[in-house]
């Protein structure tokens, strides 16, 4: 069977995905300001796991087929990394805000490119290394490590980006022997188990209004993942991935209009450099593909 490559539809789905995930981040920022991050992520993962299991049951072979893997330890490590990365990123939203957090986190594709050599044995040419170096300069511009105003808390989203990059590389690694359905199943179930073990200790009653927000958070999480799956089903990843950077635009817009955040000059310049370097790496991948 030949996979379809409807690029206009794929781009539309990717834009919708980034918008939904940005709304999800805004709701996460709101709830995490009132409740413990572990609790918020735990409830979110309960719905995510239910979504994953429902999809697995509808697939060929059901749950047994989805769970079958010859590399369970790597799959578990992937799930743990993603759940912890989400916790760190949500905490970053409350500490730094959506604008600065996403500006730094945008560098994760460059980290994927840099680590693809040592982790997966993929070839990384000098042009891609140059783009990675330029992107790192953009991160330094945002962090201002030599300035008296440097805040070490700005490293938090960078840590989240590193974890997400390793998660992405491990996803590529397990894809050599496991199906997408299997990886998706282990991501949801492992994260749900891990976050329940951590988050249950921080449980506190939520108000009725916040339960509504929690429901919206879960719905955006499920719909965002569904849109992303559909996006990669209808179009090549290299064609639609550059549009994932729109999440920075959407998140910044929400941060400014809803939470009263501002964009400093160094953050705007640094983010622009990171995005340009990231787009160049995607362009190189497509040229070589």
pLDDT digits (tens, 9 = 90+) for 79-93: 999 999 999 999 999
C-alpha 235/C-alpha 163 separation (Å) is 26
Least confident of 195-199, 245-249, 251-255: 245-249
Whether 165 has a pLDDT exceeding 70, the answer reads yes
Question: Which has more confidence, 122 or 179?
Answer: 179
- pLDDT score for 150: 55
Dihedral over Cα of 178, 231, 50, 215: its sign: positive
- pLDDT score for 151: 64
Q: How confident is the model at residue 145 (pLDDT cuts 50, 70, 90)?
A: low
Q: What is the CA radius of gyration of the chain?
A: 19
- Where is mean pLDDT largest: 6-15, 147-156, 198-207, 264-273? 198-207
At 96-109, the pLDDT tens digits run 999 999 988 988 88
- Where is mean pLDDT largest: 24-28, 134-138, 245-249? 24-28
Whether 244 has a pLDDT exceeding 90, the answer reads no
Question: Which has more confidence, 140 or 43?
Answer: 43
- pLDDT score for 1: 40
- Where is mean pLDDT largest: 18-22, 132-136, 270-274? 18-22
Rounded mean pLDDT, 32-61: 92
How many residues can be counted in the chain? 289
Rounded mean pLDDT, 4-21: 86
Dihedral over Cα of 61, 226, 278, 286: its sign: positive
Average pLDDT along the chain: 87
Whether 123 has a pLDDT exceeding 80, the answer reads no
Whether 125 has a pLDDT exceeding 80, the answer reads no
User: What is the DSSP-derived secondary structure letter of residue 122?
Assistant: -
C-alpha 141/C-alpha 14 separation (Å) is 28
Whether 160 has a pLDDT exceeding 90, the answer reads yes
C-alpha 136/C-alpha 218 separation (Å) is 34
Quote the pTM value: 0.87
Rounded mean pLDDT, 259-281: 87
């Amino acid at each position: 069977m030949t996979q379809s490559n409807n690029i206009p539809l794929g781009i539309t789905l990717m834009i919708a995905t980034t918008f939904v995930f940005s709304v999800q981040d805004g709701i996460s920022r709101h709830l995490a300001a009132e409740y413990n991050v572990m609790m918020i992520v735990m409830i979110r993962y309960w719905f995510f796991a239910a979504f994953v299991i429902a999809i697995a049951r509808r697939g060929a072979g059901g749950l047994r087929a989805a769970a079958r893997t010859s590399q369970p330890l790597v799959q578990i490590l992937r799930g743990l990394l993603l759940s912890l990365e989400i916790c760190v990123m949500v905490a970053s939203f409350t500490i730094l805000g959506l604008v600065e957090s996403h500006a730094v986190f945008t560098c994760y594709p460059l980290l994927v490119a840099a680590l693809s050599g040592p982790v997966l044995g993929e070839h990384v040419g000098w042009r891609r290394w140059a783009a990675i170096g330029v992107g790192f300069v953009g991160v330094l511009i945002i962090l201002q490590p030599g300035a008296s105003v440097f805040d070490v808390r700005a490293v938090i989203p960078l840590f989240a980006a590193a974890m997400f990059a390793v998660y992405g590389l491990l996803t590529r690694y397990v894809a050599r022997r496991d199906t997408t359905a299997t990886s998706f199943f282990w991501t949801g179930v492992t994260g749900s188990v891990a976050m329940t073990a951590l988050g249950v200790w921080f449980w506190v009653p939520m108000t009725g209004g916040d339960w509504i927000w929690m429901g919206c958070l879960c719905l955006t999480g499920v719909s965002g993942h569904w849109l992303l799956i559909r996006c990669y089903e209808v179009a090549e990843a290299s064609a639609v991935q550059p549009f994932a950077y729109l999440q920075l635009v959407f998140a910044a817009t929400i941060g400014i209009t809803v939470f009263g955040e501002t964009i400093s000059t160094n953050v705007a310049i640094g983010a622009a450099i990171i995005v340009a370097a990231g787009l160049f790496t995607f362009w190189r991948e497509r040229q070589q593909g």
